[in-house]
């Protein structure tokens, strides 16, 4: 059971962790050169939530089934699942399409000499940054639910 808890905690940290850094990488008011570097790093970090997040959900469900955490209807568990789903919706459903749109401009060969971002891309970057702050706040709430769960 302790090994399963360890795997669950590590995978949750690894899975949600990049969300805490994404708003730093995709911060507002970067120039095009900085944004290219930041987006390249961000794309590398996207690997971790997919694997770590999936493992965290699977091990969490297994812990509830095998452990003495009570019913799946516990408020902390339902709240945790809802918050996790909201994070996924925000990151996969909202931020990813916006990032792809921004990345299309950033990595376009016609724009590789650009230093400053046009207003449209700067506004999109600002929007993405704000969305990551919201996802980060939800990530903090998720960890609070996990730590303060009733025993």
97-135: per-residue pLDDT in tens? 999 999 999 999 999 889 899 999 999 999 999 999 999
32-58: per-residue pLDDT in tens? 999 999 999 988 888 888 788 889 889
DSSP character string of 55-100: HHHHHHHHHHHHSS---TT-HHHHHHHHHHHHHHIIIIIIIHHHHH
Run of H or E residues at 103 = helix 96-106
CA angle 40, 43, 46 (to 5 degrees): 155
pLDDT higher than 80, residue 22: yes
DSSP 109: G
Q: What span, in angstroms and rounded, lies between the C-alpha atoms of 33 and 12?
A: 32
Q: What is the mean pLDDT of residues 121-150?
A: 90
Own/partner contacts of 98-102, CB < 8 Å, gap of 24 or more, are 98/124, 98/127, 98/128, 98/131, 99/26, 99/39, 99/42, 99/128, 102/35, 102/39, 102/128
Of residues 73 and 129, more confidence is placed in 129
- First vs last Cα of the chain: how many Å apart? 15
The residue with tokens 């990032």 is: 99
pLDDT given at position 76 = 79
Of residues 85 and 71, more confidence is placed in 85
Q: Which of 18-22, 60-64, 108-112 has the highest average model confidence (pLDDT)?
A: 108-112
Backbone angles phi, psi at 42, to 5 degrees: -60, -40
Instruction: Categorize the per-residue pLDDT at 150 as very low, low, confident or very high, splitting at 50, 70 and 90.
Output: low
Q: Determine contact, residues 5/53, Cβ cutoff 8 Å.
A: no
pLDDT higher than 60, residue 151: no
Alpha-carbon radius of gyration of the chain: 18
């Amino acid at each position: 059971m302790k090994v399963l808890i360890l795997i669950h905690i590590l995978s949750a940290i690894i899975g949600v962790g990049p969300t805490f850094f994404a708003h730093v990488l995709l911060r507002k008011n970067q120039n095009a050169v900085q944004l290219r570097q930041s987006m390249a790093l961000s794309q590398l970090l996207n690997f971790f939530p997919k694997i770590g997040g999936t493992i965290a959900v699977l091990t969490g469900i297994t812990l509830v089934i095998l452990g003495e955490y009570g019913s799946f209807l516990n408020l902390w568990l339902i709240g945790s699942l809802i918050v996790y789903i909201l994070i996924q919706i925000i990151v996969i459903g909202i931020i990813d399409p916006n990032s792809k749109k921004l990345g299309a401009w950033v990595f376009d060969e016609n724009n590789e000499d650009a230093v400053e971002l046009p207003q449209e891309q700067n506004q999109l970057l600002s929007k993405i940054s704000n969305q990551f702050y919201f996802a980060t706040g939800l990530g903090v709430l998720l960890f609070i639910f996990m730590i303060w769960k009733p025993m």
